[in-house]
């Protein structure tokens, strides 16, 4: 017969457990079912079903994955190489801080202090730069760099969650 589409929702828990939920649709209904009763921080990409889930569940905090955000700037390199490279280098700094911060001897308080001292200025610089670029340059809305900036700006609050919660990873 005819083959149909299906989707896997990849889930990763705070105790390093993994699950792959199969669903014949990409509807948020599957997410609602598997995360029913969940309270805490939900780290995800920018798919709208996660946003809907958080809105319906007041005990859930949305956090955004920095890798998904960075990927959009990698995709924009072919069109805006200098601007994209600058952003990617800023984000590389965030991941370097996390590599140091995740050393076994670091406590959650150490991680939080390092994020406040080193990561927060990088995040601030990132958002300042992309806001200025959007105001300064007259790029078309279809430009991949513009789309990457708008994606990040629309999720600024969620991208900053890791700065206040040492349990939240960048990705």
Whether residue 46 has pLDDT greater than 70:
yes
**Cβ(69)–Cβ(151) under 8 Å?**
yes
Tell me the pTM: 0.89
pLDDT per position as a tens digit, 83-132? 999 999 999 999 999 988 777 778 889 999 999 999 999 999 999 999 99
Three-class secondary structure of residue 20 per DSSP: strand
């Amino acid at each position: 017969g005819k083959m149909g589409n299906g989707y896997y929702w990849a889930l990763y828990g705070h105790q390093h457990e993994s699950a792959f939920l199969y669903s014949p649709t990409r509807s948020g209904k599957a997410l609602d079912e598997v995360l029913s009763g969940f309270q805490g921080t939900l780290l995800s990409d920018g798919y709208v079903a996660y946003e809907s889930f958080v809105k319906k569940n007041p005990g859930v905090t949305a956090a955004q994955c920095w890798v998904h955000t960075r990927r959009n700037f990698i995709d924009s390199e072919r069109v805006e190489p200098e601007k994209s490279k600058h952003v990617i280098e800023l984000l590389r700094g965030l991941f370097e801080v996390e590599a140091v911060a995740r050393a076994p001897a670091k406590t959650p308080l150490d991680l939080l202090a390092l994020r406040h001292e080193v990561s927060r200025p990088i995040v601030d610089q990132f958002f300042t730069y992309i806001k200025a670029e959007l105001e300064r340059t007259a790029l078309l809305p279809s430009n991949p760099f513009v789309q990457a900036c708008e994606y990040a700006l629309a999720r600024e609050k969620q991208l900053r969650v890791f700065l206040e919660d040492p349990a939240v990873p960048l990705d």
